[in-house]
Structures are given as structure tokens and as C-alpha cells.
Amino acid sequence: MKRATETKLILVVRHTRLDELVARFNTLRQAQFYVEHLGADFSDYLSEHETYLAARHRTETALRAAGRAQVIERGFLPNFLFGPSDVVVVLGQDGLVANTLKYTAGQPVVGVNPDPRRWDGVLLPFTPDDLPALLPEVLARRRPIKEVSMAQASLNNGQHLLAVNDLFVGPKSHISARYTLRVGEHEETHSSSGVIVSTGLGSTGWLKSLLAGATGIAGSLSQHDLTLKQRQPTPWNADYLYFTVREPFPSKTTAASLVFGKVHPECPLTITSLMAENGVIFSDGIEKDFMEFNSGTKATIGLAEQKGRLVI
């Protein structure tokens, strides 16, 4: 088959939940036993896995018909060097697109949704079936590109970290929890940093810090004409960032008033660590890719010169 171009097409893929379960329990049967023993529906894991593999097959077929194709798994992104003329295709959820963008250097990135019935895909405007018609336009540089601004944390020890979505600065304990919450007859499925259930005694602890943060943000919004105030999303290529302090706790030695604001080139954000150990900075929810942030370390956070280029 004659290829349309010699430009290299890099396909970024990820492990499915089923892949991760099998890696943990060694066999499919043992993974199934574990999930079903807990009363969960194992067929959902199988369905998601099979759908992803089918989408990957269609995507690889389209890429190999269009040019030289190479497949890399998400875990290899930090050590992978993209060529200046590469075109990057990401097959996965929004988080995989965001994680990929920060390792590119101007290459166009195509977000492909493997399962539109399962994933909303804000950063995944295309499906595998769109690729045969889309790729020639991308390779000819005729397809519109949307720039994505990034944040950068720079430490006083010379280290740097980019973020597409957000930076986390704090203790080594932040994860996203997925669960179903039910109250009375009402039920929701959540993905969050957790749920706090407080007694009367505990209401002066963590609950107090949650309320202090919400109050601080509301007070700041009432004083500034912010895009967020109108509940409109911030443009992806905005030349500013927002910061907010999670759950500030007011005490005799700590305050809770500077908890929300705008960061721009004339007003960077500086944070100095007072943590003896376990302080970290990581980006986009990727906890394994972090910089230590312990006592005396200073982070200056602002816009990165590097921008992502998302095909639309």
C-alpha cells in the first residue's frame, strides 16, 4: 500500500481497567473472581476493554495507511522524544490528551474518543472512523489548530514542571476517588478528591477549612470581573491562570483570606514550602511524576512558554 506521507504518526494508548486488574491479579479469572466477589459487574470491565481494543485496531489501521506509525503506551511519555514534524494521535480519555500535550513541542495533537457512549470527551472531538478523512488534512496542515496554554512551576533548585490542566502543591496524598453516593432516594456517581462526613465535634476541623475556602472564593468573585463569575469557561489559550487554595484552615498561625486569584506575567505566584518532608508538586493528576517540595524550596508558578496544539 502506498503511503500518503513519510511523516511519522505517533499513537498514544493507555491500559484499560481490565489490563490493570490482570496485571494486579496475574490472570483474567482471578481478576474476575476479585471483582465479582465484591459484588461488582465484571462485564462492564470486559465491555470497556473490548471496545477500546476494537477502537485501537481501527485507529492503527488508519494511521498505517496514511504514513509511518508508531505506538507508545502512556507510561513511556515522560521519556519519549517527539520529532519536530510528528503528528500525535491520542486514543483515550481527556486526561490522556492533557498528559500528552505537555510532552509535545508544537506537534499537532489529535484526540480520538474510543467510546463516545462512555466518555464525554471534551478534548476528544474525533472517533477512529473519522481518521481516514481527517489525517490527510492534518498532514497537509489544513486542519484548524486550537492553542492550549500551560502552567509551569519553577523551583529554586532548577527543576521545572508543566501542567495542562492544573498543578497540585502540597502533601503527597492527593488522589481522585470514584464512587457512587446515595442519600435517601438520591444517587450519583462521583469523581472527586473525597467526601468528608463530619460530626459536631469534627465540624471545627476539616469541615471548617472546606467552608473557609468556599467563603474566600465567593468573596473574591464578588470583587473581580472574572470570566468564572459569569460561569463561562476560561479560554484554552488564555494568557493567565487562576489559583485557589484547597480547604484552608484558619488558626492562630495560619490565615484563610488569600485563597483565590489570577496569575499573569506581571503577577506570578510564589509558594515557599514549610513542610519538613512529603511535600510535592505534580501536574494533571499524575502523582508519580512529581517534584519534591520540602522546607526551603520555592516555587514560582506562571504561564509556560510552551503551548499545546490541539487539532479541532
- What are the tens digits of pLDDT across the range 254-311? 776 667 777 888 888 887 888 778 788 888 877 778 899 887 888 888 888 888 899 9
Mean pLDDT over 125-132 rounds to 96
Q: What angle do CA 145, 100, 162 make, to 5 degrees?
A: 95
Residue with cell string 472531538: 125
CA atoms of 184 and 223, how far apart (whole Å): 38
8-143 maps to CATH 3.40.50: yes
In angstroms, rounded to a whole number, what is the distance separating the alpha carbons of residues 153 and 281? 8
**pLDDT given at position 206:** 53
At 177, the pLDDT band (50, 70, 90 cuts) reads very low
pLDDT tens figures, 215-224: 777 777 666 5
Specify the higher pLDDT residue, 10 or 147.
10
CATH 3.40.50 placement within the chain: 8-143
- Which residues have a Cβ under 8 Å from the Cβ of 186 and sit 6 or more positions away? none
Nearest one of 80, 71, 66 to 13, comparing CA atoms: 71
pTM for the structure as a whole? 0.76
Question: CATH topology for 151-175+205-304?
Answer: Tumour Suppressor Smad4 (2.60.200)
Instruction: Outline which parts of the chain fall under CATH 2.60.200.
Output: 151-175+205-304
What's the CA gap between 168 and 174, in Å, rounded?
8
The pLDDT, as a whole number, for residue 102 is: 87
Please check whether residue 169 is in contact with residue 299, taking contact to mean a CB–CB distance below 8 angstroms.
Answer: yes
